């Protein structure tokens, strides 16, 4: 599961690389109540996402529980050539983490 | 709704199980930047101004036409509202997305590296009808733009 928890694609065109990523995560806000028990479902969401191109951090994000379940993220950066590695990693509020690396296409 | 609840339980279970293996190697996997402090105060702030101030150090902002927000006019499902923020301003260091009527307004903030362009796209939850506000910190100043989104089914309640 952990290994499959990130889907990422990076494509370069005209000197600009577009990265699209999908993460598998419940993203519980902590405000929702369990319909059967009436108890609050504890918060469980991704807090930090970091994306690296080779060794440079191109984007780092801080998220709250209001990012949708199974978060989608897309961004662009200058540079990047076919075959360069792109690595995305996240850490959630329970300290779980995952990362995945792909090559730019 | 029952199938959805089951799915959630299933997801949780499998995530938890899968993570055990990763936990051991986590120390090695986490890049340095990830360890930077998560701005808890900003994300827990219930007031818009307080959240912005906690995140960016100031809540003085200038409305700007150079920030483009792409979001639906009417969101049928508040749990999944696609939002894209785009700007051509120079020296953009941070882009933040805020949902004005949410319990805790700050949704996400993105710190851009030196190569990153002023473009982020993600999906957010909105509790009810309100404004999606994009904040852009460029050259030390904060600029903002907003777009109202009508939510027919909220995505933050039970």
Going by C-alpha positions, the residue among B99, B8, B108 that lies closest to residue A46 is B108
ipTM of the complex: 0.90
Nearest C-alpha in B relative to A65: B107
Asked if B49 and B27 sit in the same domain, the reply is no
d(Cα A29, Cα A41) in Å, to the nearest integer? 8
Asked if B71 and B12 sit in the same domain, the reply is no
Asked if B83 and B16 sit in the same domain, the reply is no
Asked if B48 and B126 sit in the same domain, the reply is yes
> What is the tally of structural domains in chain B?
2
Beta bridge partners of B97: B108, B134
Report whether A48 contacts A71 (CB < 8 A).
no
Report whether B33 contacts A62 (CB < 8 A).
no
The reported pLDDT for the residue numbered B35 is 46
Q: Which of A50, A68, A75 sits opposite B123 (nearest CB)?
A: A68
Q: Where does the pLDDT of residue A1 fall: very low under 50, low under 70, confident under 90, or very high at 90 and above? A: very low
> What is the tally of structural domains in chain A?
1
Residue A1 belongs to some domain of the structure: no
Nearest C-alpha in A relative to B51: A64
Range of the domain at B114: 38-151
Residue B49 belongs to some domain of the structure: yes
Averaged pLDDT, groups of 10, chain B, 158 residues long: 59 51 42 61 89 89 93 92 94 93 92 94 93 93 94 66
Q: Which of B1, B113, B156 sits opposite A57 (nearest CB)?
A: B113
Asked if B102 and B117 sit in the same domain, the reply is yes
């Amino acid at each position: 599961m952990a290994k499959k928890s990130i889907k990422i694609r990076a494509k370069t065109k005209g000197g600009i690389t577009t990265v699209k990523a999908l993460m598998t995560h419940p993203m519980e806000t902590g405000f929702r109540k369990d319909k059967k028990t009436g108890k609050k479902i504890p918060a469980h969401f991704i807090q930090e996402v970091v994306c690296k191109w080779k060794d440079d951090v191109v984007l780092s994000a801080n998220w709250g529980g209001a990012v949708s379940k199974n978060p989608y993220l897309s961004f662009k950066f200058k540079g990047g050539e076919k075959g360069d590695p792109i690595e995305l990693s996240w850490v959630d509020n329970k300290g779980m983490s995952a990362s995945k690396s792909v090559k730019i296409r | 709704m029952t199938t959805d609840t089951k799915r959630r339980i299933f997801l949780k279970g499998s995530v938890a199980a899968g993570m055990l293996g990763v936990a051991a190697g986590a120390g090695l996997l986490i890049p340095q930047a990830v360890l930077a402090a998560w701005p808890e105060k900003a994300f827990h702030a219930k007031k818009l101004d307080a959240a912005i101030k906690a995140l960016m150090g100031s809540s003085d902002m200038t409305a700007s036409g150079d920030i483009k927000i792409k979001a639906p006019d009417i969101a049928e499902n508040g749990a999944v509202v696609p939002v894209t923020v785009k700007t051509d301003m120079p020296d953009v260091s941070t882009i933040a997305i805020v949902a004005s009527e949410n319990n805790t307004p700050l949704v996400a903030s993105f710190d851009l590296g030196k190569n990153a362009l002023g473009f982020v796209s993600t999906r957010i939850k909105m509790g009810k009808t309100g404004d999606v506000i994009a904040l852009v910190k460029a050259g030390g100043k904060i600029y903002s733009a907003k777009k109202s989104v009508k939510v027919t089914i909220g995505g933050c309640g039970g």
